[in-house]
Amino acid sequence: MKRSKINKDDLNLQRAIFIQILQATWSRFRSVDQTTQQLNTAGFDSVEIHWDDAHMFYSFEAIRV
């Protein structure tokens, strides 16, 4: 994790929104490999992974041809 890339003000705002306001909880962690395999099994041919600057969160771009 690249902690130097994390903006502390943004982190505090995100924490307030997700924890205090939305009361969100995450209990099911999936690895990148597991998620990629699930997308391939679902018929997506092209799967790209996009990481944030701090390498904490990733987004998937999946295309079904």
Contact 65, 45 (CB under 8 A): yes
- Secondary structure of residue 54 in the 3-state scheme: coil
Q: What are phi and psi of 6, to 5 degrees?
A: -90, 125
Q: Is residue 1 scored above 70 in pLDDT?
A: no
- The half-sphere exposure of 11 on its side-chain side, counting CA atoms within 13 A, is 9
Note the pLDDT tens digit of each residue in 4-54.
Answer: 778 889 888 988 998 889 888 877 778 899 999 999 999 998 999 998 888
Give the integer Cα–Cα distance in Å for 11 and 65. 37
Note the pLDDT tens digit of each residue in 41-65.
Answer: 999 989 999 988 887 778 999 998 8
* pTM of the model as a whole: 0.59
